[in-house]
A and B are shown apart, each in its own frame.
Chain A
Amino acid sequence: MKQILAVANKEFHDGLRNRWLVSITIIFAILSIGLTYFGAAASGTVGVTSLSTTVASLASLAVFLIPLIALLLSYDSFVGEQESGTLLLLLTYPLSKSQLLLGKFLGQGGIIALATVLGFGSSALILYLQLNDIAVLSVFATFITSAVLLGLSFTAIAYLISLSVSEKSKAAGFALITWFFFALVFDLALLALLVGVEQGISQQGLTQLMMLNPADIFRLVNLAGLDRSDINGALAIAIKSSLSQGQLFSILLAWVVLPIATAIFIFRKKTL
């Protein structure tokens, strides 16, 4: 445990030193405060709009940004240290591969989680003060928790990439493709399936397919509880055959745990 904390502490401080924490927090804060105030500008009003509109627009932006940031932060975690030779050195220390991986996860996950809480929490606070509605806090609690899980999930996926390739540049390429796939291609493919194939898939089947993408689970979690008029597309259908929030959260959590377990497995098999 001491070892895990030592690694986590180093990774967390790297995140502070590289200004990752500050930049991510600022990006999230500006986005969320901006959306909170100007989200309804298209309809001709400026100021705090309805809670559901705000969260819906926040969720659809966060679903692109958070995976990208998590992948960027972590794609070189292992392949970078492998290239500089410190990975081999660390493995000669009294430190197991899983301890090293969990330590890194704790440190870098901590950066993502803290930035999410601070960045989006700030707009939650502003919104709460403006609307004076306790519902703001509960909706944002759901939003922030799922956003943290989404970030952790893509941190874990970044480790999978980082452990599977032998060059940093390749890892960067794979990270980009991974992001593109989960953030864009997956939904387009679902939509194509829905529209293009007659008698294709049932609502049930669609929802089940969406469980294969942590970004979609994140969307479902946040949009399921909202006003239906703000949501459209494939998502609206999926929401109708909804799973409970608890189930969705468990599946999102599985999207954190499974990639981490797989990453540990790959790491153990990896020869240096």
Chain B
Amino acid sequence: MTNIAEKTPLVKLTNVGKQYSKLTALDSVDMQLAQGEVLGLFGHNGAGKTTMMKLILGVISPSHGNVEVMGMAPDSKEAWHMRAKIGYLPENVSFYEQLTGLEVLTYFAKLKGFDKKHAIALLEQVGVAHAMKRQVKTYSKGMRQRLGLAQAFIGHPALLLLDEPTVGLDPIATADFYKTVDDLKNQGTSVILCSHVLPGVEQHIDRAMILSSGKMLAMGSLEQLRAAADLPVAIKVKGLNGSLRKDSHLVKYLLDEKNGDLLTVPEQDKLTTLRQLLAYESIKDVSVDSANLEQVYQYYLSRHLSVNTSSKNNTKEQS
């Protein structure tokens, strides 16, 4: 029984597209999300991230394709009760300013069938319990964001959709937030984290999906994306004092002839290069940096843009 549950994806998008009168918000996206998996959804504003979330939430219906959440179409009537199992943090939400934090959260909790006690526990969890008797209009940006998170956590959801969850959070609160995500993941909650690329998000996501103007550019684990992008590894060395410039094997990796300390090496040559470097007696320090998420993201985005411009040029030439 559990095996089946594990094998059936919690969220399944098959060739899903959403067309508004003139705008294609989302163009044939395929995606699966397993139980307990954390998916990072990356893209610029207007890339289709929010549209995808709305489709999964069942607030809008797809123009074509098939959305399945927990085995049901989220926009159908039968899917009604499963909404209590989904938590959502919208990107731009300002809660009822004239109410206190506790009143706001109690209202939302009640709509999901929970009581005030549950609301208080959640406020303690996100760290705004000290201000829960104050009106929301006195809250700072970070406190509002925490309140929004508490709202998304109501009723121990099986699926969490978080749109820009760390906006406005200070570094400590961000760390707290990621810790919560890790905890939820361990409890079997699936999370879709939607964001601009943020430093520090890498360790907390299992897979990343990159969207641009409604199209899926890439999806996979960070290792897979990095390998597919074939981005070079940056190797920094200390203590060689320019002897690399004379090394016929290594000189081609030097980013800048004058700066003899930084090498950019293709992933497959990484180990050979390191061995060669370590053969130098004078080497004092070496650091290896694989391409980070931001670079991977930039790579896919710029590739997409160049493909687009070249296809546009082609059409111009034809006409």
Query: Residues of A with Cβ closer than 8 Å to B?
Result: 2-3, 6-7, 10, 14, 17-18, 84-86, 88-96, 271-272
Q: Which residues of A contact B83 (CB under 8 A)?
A: 92-94
Known: A92-B57, A92-B86, A94-B84. A2 touches B113 (CB 8 A): yes
Known: A92-B83, A94-B80. A85 touches B88 (CB 8 A): no
CB distance from B230 to the nearest CB of A (A): 40
A3 to B94: give the CA distance in the assembly, Å. Answer: 22
Q: Which residues of B contact A84 (CB under 8 A)?
A: 93-96
Contact with A along B49-79 (1 / 0, CB 8 A): 0000010011110000000000000000000
CB distance from B11 to the nearest CB of A (A): 14
A271 to B58: give the CA distance in the assembly, Å. Answer: 11
B93 touches A94 (CB 8 A): no
Nearest 4 A/B pairs, CB to CB: A85-B93, A94-B83, A6-B110, A92-B57
Interface pairs (7), CB distance under 8 Å: A18-B98, A84-B96, A85-B94, A86-B95, A92-B59, A93-B108, A96-B80
For residues 89 through 109 of chain B, which have their beta carbon under 8 Å from a beta carbon of chain A? 90-96, 98-99, 107-108
Extra contacts, 10 of them, besides A2-B110, A88-B90, A92-B88 (Cβ < 8 A), are A6-B107, A14-B98, A85-B94, A86-B93, A86-B95, A88-B54, A88-B93, A89-B151, A92-B86, A94-B113
A110 to B319: give the CA distance in the assembly, Å. Answer: 66
Contact with A along B35-55 (1 / 0, CB 8 A): 000000000000000000010
Measured CB to CB, the nearest residue on chain B to A18 is B98
Q: Which residues of A contact B7 (CB under 8 A)?
A: none
Q: Which residues of A contact B92 (CB under 8 A)?
A: 85
Q: Which residues of B contact A18 (CB under 8 A)?
A: 98
Query: Residues of B with Cβ closer than 8 Å to A?
Result: 54, 57-60, 80-81, 83-84, 86, 88, 90-96, 98-99, 107-108, 110-113, 151
A180 to B94: give the CA distance in the assembly, Å. Answer: 33
A14 to B135: give the CA distance in the assembly, Å. Answer: 13
A88 to B92: give the CA distance in the assembly, Å. Answer: 10
CB distance from A113 to the nearest CB of B (A): 22
A272 to B20: give the CA distance in the assembly, Å. Answer: 12
Q: Which residues of B contact A88 (CB under 8 A)?
A: 54, 59, 90, 93
A84 to B90: give the CA distance in the assembly, Å. Answer: 11
Measured CB to CB, the nearest residue on chain A to B151 is A89
Q: Which residues of B contact A96 (CB under 8 A)?
A: 80
Q: Which residues of A contact B84 (CB under 8 A)?
A: 93-94
A77 to B137: give the CA distance in the assembly, Å. Answer: 19
A95 touches B111 (CB 8 A): yes
B93 touches A272 (CB 8 A): no
Known: A86-B95, A94-B111. A271 touches B90 (CB 8 A): no
Known: A86-B95, A86-B96. A91 touches B112 (CB 8 A): no
Q: Which residues of B contact A86 (CB under 8 A)?
A: 93-96
B98 touches A3 (CB 8 A): no
Of the candidates A7, A93, A96, A272, the one having the most CB atoms from chain B within 10 angstroms of its own CB is: A93
Q: Which residues of B contact A271 (CB under 8 A)?
A: 60
Q: Which residues of A contact B112 (CB under 8 A)?
A: 93-94
B111 touches A3 (CB 8 A): yes
A74 to B202: give the CA distance in the assembly, Å. Answer: 46
Measured CB to CB, the nearest residue on chain B to A80 is B96
A6 touches B111 (CB 8 A): yes
CB distance from B72 to the nearest CB of A (A): 13
CB distance from A130 to the nearest CB of B (A): 41
CB distance from A211 to the nearest CB of B (A): 37
A93 touches B60 (CB 8 A): no
B107 touches A17 (CB 8 A): no
Q: Which residues of B contact A94 (CB under 8 A)?
A: 80-81, 83-84, 111-113
Q: Which residues of B contact A95 (CB under 8 A)?
A: 111
A89 touches B60 (CB 8 A): no
A91 to B75: give the CA distance in the assembly, Å. Answer: 11
A17 to B96: give the CA distance in the assembly, Å. Answer: 12
Q: Which residues of A contact B95 (CB under 8 A)?
A: 84, 86
Q: Which residues of A contact B94 (CB under 8 A)?
A: 84-86
A272 to B90: give the CA distance in the assembly, Å. Answer: 13
A18 to B96: give the CA distance in the assembly, Å. Answer: 12
A10 to B110: give the CA distance in the assembly, Å. Answer: 11
Q: Which residues of B contact A89 (CB under 8 A)?
A: 88, 90, 93, 151
A10 to B106: give the CA distance in the assembly, Å. Answer: 10
B107 touches A272 (CB 8 A): no
Known: A6-B110, A93-B108. A17 touches B98 (CB 8 A): yes
Partner of B107, one of A10, A85, A91: A10
Measured CB to CB, the nearest residue on chain B to A90 is B111
Q: Which residues of B contact A17 (CB under 8 A)?
A: 98-99
CB distance from A1 to the nearest CB of B (A): 12
Known: A14-B98, A88-B59, A272-B59. A93 touches B111 (CB 8 A): yes
Measured CB to CB, the nearest residue on chain A to B93 is A85
